[in-house]
Amino acid sequence: MEKNKRIYTDMLRCEAETLRAGESVLLCGTVYTARDAAHGRIFSLLDQNQPLPFDLNGAVIYYAGPTPQKPDGQIGSFGPTTSARMDVFTPRLLDLGLVGMIGKGNRNDEVIAAIKRNRAVYFCAGGGFGALISRSIVKMEEIAFFDLGCESVKRLEVKDFPLIVAVDADGNNIFQRD
């Protein structure tokens, strides 16, 4: 059985060129969470030339929001949300330096074109595996839009986060059928 490729977020800009659609990887490093409401606020900040809660250059965004923490302090289930809900935002963020996204489901043609143009990558996390995914999160810090609750922006440190390359830097897409 082939071993999953371990990749690090701080090297993803270079690694993206080597990843292929359908490949299994283990992601390590810093990942930011943002869903619909947070993306709207990020766009408002961009439109007003205000600083963002994190540097987009080389960043990876996970489209997710956790369930509440357990009483013992452990992170709750942390599964992906449907990525297509962020498609309206994604090309601009990729053009501003975003290098990776994590979610579930297919992306539209504009997003795939932006992935190719920016030599980025889109990963899928296993829908329904939120409890398993949470085991890969070694640290979580809420950093922006605290009033959004589970949809606030969080900085995660992940280790061996299991993912599948869904769309690679060449635009190959696991959701396309011949």
Catalytic center residues: 39
CA–CA separation, 172 vs 30, rounded Å?
Answer: 25
Q: Using CA atoms in the order 145, 151, 155, 160, what is the torsion angle rounded to 10 degrees?
A: 180
Strand-pair partners of 122: 101, 167
Radius of gyration of the chain (CA): 15
Instruction: With H, G, I as helix, E, B as strand and everything else as coil, classify residue 85.
Output: helix
Question: What sections of the chain are H helices per DSSP?
Answer: 12-15, 36-47, 90-95, 109-118, 130-134
